[in-house]
Amino acid sequence: MPRKTNAQQYPIRLVEYAVAVMKLLVVIVNYRTPQMTVDCLESIAGEIGSLRGKVAVVDNASPDDSVRHLRQAIDERGWQDWAALMPLDRNGGFAYGNNAAIQPALASSDPPDYVLLLNPDTIARPGALGALVDFLASHPEVGMVGSRLEDPDGTPQRSAFRFHTLISEFDGAMKLGLFSLLAARHVVAPPVSAIACPAQWVAGASLLIRRQVFDSIGLLDAKYFMYFEEVDFCQRAAKAGWPCWYEPKSRVVHLVGQASGVTNRSDAQRRRPAYWFESRRYYWIKNYGKAYAAAVDAVWIVGYAGWRLRAWLQRKPSSDPPSFFWDSLRHSVFVKGFRA
Same domain? For 200 and 126 the reply is yes
Confidence bin at 258 (pLDDT 50/70/90)? low
The fraction of the chain above a pLDDT of 90, given in percent, is 80
Do 121 and 151 sit in the same domain of this protein?
yes
Q: How many whole angstroms from its chain centre is CA 314?
A: 36
Does 284 lie in the same domain as 143?
A: no
Distance CA 182, CA 232 (A): 27
Q: Are residues 140 and 224 in the same domain?
A: yes
The answer to whether residues 11 and 105 belong to one domain is yes
In this structure, is residue 115 part of a structural domain? yes
Q: How far is it, in rounded angstroms, from Cα 301 to Cα 329? A: 7
Eight-state DSSP code of residue 164: P
Range of the domain at 214: 7-157+192-254
Same domain? For 250 and 279 the reply is no
Does 14 reside within a domain? yes
Q: Rounded mean pLDDT of 108-128?
A: 96
| Predicted TM-score (pTM) of this structure | 0.89
CATH number of the structural domain spanning residue 42:
3.90.550.60
Reference 254, options 143, 77, 128; nearest CA is: 128
Q: 209 and 286 share a domain?
A: no
Residues 68 and 139 in one domain: yes
Res 1 pLDDT > 80: no
Q: How far is CA 231 from CA 51, 226, 269, 316, in A?
A: 27, 11, 24, 32
Question: Quick check: is 1 in a domain?
Answer: no
The answer, yes or no, to whether residue 217 has pLDDT greater than 70, is yes
Is residue 208 assigned to a domain? yes
Which amino acid makes up residue 41?
L
Largest distance between two CA atoms of the chain: 64
Nearest alpha-carbon partner for 227 in 266, 275, 274, 271? 275
Pick the closest to residue 326 from 253, 274, 280 (CA basis).
274
- 72 and 26 in a single domain? The answer is yes
Give pLDDT, residue 270. Answer: 84
Antiparallel, parallel or unpaired: β 197-199 and 244-254: antiparallel
Report if residue 128 sits inside a domain. yes
Q: Which helix (H) or strand (E) holds 160?
A: strand 160-161
pLDDT digits (tens, 9 = 90+) for 88-105: 999 999 999 999 999 999
In a domain, 247, yes or no: yes
Same domain, 115 and 206: yes
Residue type, position 131, single letter: A
User: According to the model, what pLDDT value does residue 318 have?
Assistant: 81
How many domains is the chain built from? 2
How wide is the angle at C-alpha 264 spanned by C-alphas 263 and 267, nearest 5°?
Answer: 125
pLDDT of residue 15: 34
